[in-house]
Amino acid sequence: MQHVPIAHLGPGIYPSPIHQIGGVEAPFKQDDRDRVLYDSSLRGLEAPDRAMTFEEAGPREQLFFDPPKTTVGIVTCGGLCPGLNDIIRGIVNQCHRQYGVTRILGFRYGYEGLVQRYGHTPLTLRPDSVAQVHTFGGTILGSSRGQQPITEMVDTLEDMGIDILFVIGGDGTLRGASALVAEIARRGLRKAVVGIPKTIDNDIMFLDKSFGFETAFAEAVNAVKCAYTEACGAVNGVGLLKLMGRDSGFIACFAALAGSNVDYVLIPEVPFTLDGTGGLLESLRYRLAKRGQAVIVVAEGAGQDLLQTDGSTDASGNMRYGDIGLFLKDQINGFFKSRRMEVNLKYIDPSYIVRSVPANAQDNVYCSRLAHAAVHAAMAGKTNMLVGRWHGAFVHLPLEMVTRGRRKVDPNSELWHAVLESTGQPARWS
């Protein structure tokens, strides 16, 4: 077996205080024995005995950090996502109640909060102060985008005596966490940095799903229903719905499948054309002539090759995308006007509604378990890693491994085939 290694600050010397939880023996894990296979089946494996495995998450019997003397920090970065407050609450409760960690600080407004000259005073977090935060959307700590000076952030960790930092964020945030680990190691410090992957787009590699995704696409389904209602309420009605998905179309796909009244799903992974007999506009004209209404769901990153952009980037270093929703609205209206055919298009962009709602019950549970797994790993001295779920099991993954690229919808996958079956749209545009 090829074991994916996880960085470790050193051997555990403190016995875990959670030998029993409610009278039941704690399910302690062993790094070399409790592993999860990368491949869920042996199909295509030439050498099964060399299969890659991930370290299984869970409590360790020996801890690197002495809980009563440990100080924990939490930071949330990037855009908002359902479940952020659930993660914060889960970390605080697990640290305080199960491990006896009493000093927990929440850094405000993302990585800005780790740069002292900005003046963002950290919040002291306790179980009673986070008891109801999961009922609210967003994050009680605030968030921000963009890079900050790594040296100044590590200075703050030293000045405030932070032993463990939990970083909750997406791809850019996790790359920042990896840079923090490198600077901590350069200084010879013994601090753990553990990531909890957050992306509403569900695009982090080697994960079944990211937290908040279930809530996000469930909220998007409501928008699909509204788009369908608007389309049915007028002659040649078109409901055009733009959803999140910069580079990955998972929300668009799942919302369309769950809503089941969608005629076209446009995602970044599958290029499409507007003009010509095999383009979207002629296909839409035929669909309206046949059925009288149509619903189009488009991911924000779809069709960027059709738009003119200035090549600028946002605070996180991501390319600024053109607004494909407004572009399609103008193109569709112009196309039907040129053909003297009536069309009634209603454009809906629920992006900030989708990302700002509280997590649903399914995500509540998922966030709690992610938070617990992250605390177990950090207290054992593991660092430069994140926790996630893979094939239904919670695992440890190196930060460097998961930030190599983005998880995308495979156009040859069963998921995309199911979308094609549901919508009846062309498999290829020409």
Catalytic residues: 201
Q: List the one residue out of 90, 94, 93 whose CA is nearest residue 59.
A: 94
Closest CA to 366 of 244, 233, 216: 216
Query: Strand 192-197 vs strand 123-124: parallel, antiparallel, or unpaired?
Result: unpaired
- What secondary structure, in 3-state letters, does 7-37 show? CECCCCCEECCCCEECCEECCCCCCCCCEEE
User: What string of DSSP letters covers 193-213?
Assistant: EEEEEB-TT--BTT-S--BTH
Residue 416 has a CB neighbour count (10 Å cut-off) of 19
Rounded CA-CA distance 110/144 in Å is: 5
The rounded distance, in Å, linking the Cα atoms of 206 and 209 is 9
Residue 305 burial (CB count, 10 A)? 8
Closest CA to 371 of 98, 59, 89, 65: 89
20 phi and psi angles, rounded to 5 deg: -130, 135
Rounded CA separation 285/341 (Å):
9
Torsion, Cα of 75, 78, 79, 84 (10° steps) = -20
Residue 198's Cβ-count burial label (10 Å; 0-12, 13-18, 19+) is: buried
Cα 428 from chain centroid (whole Å): 29
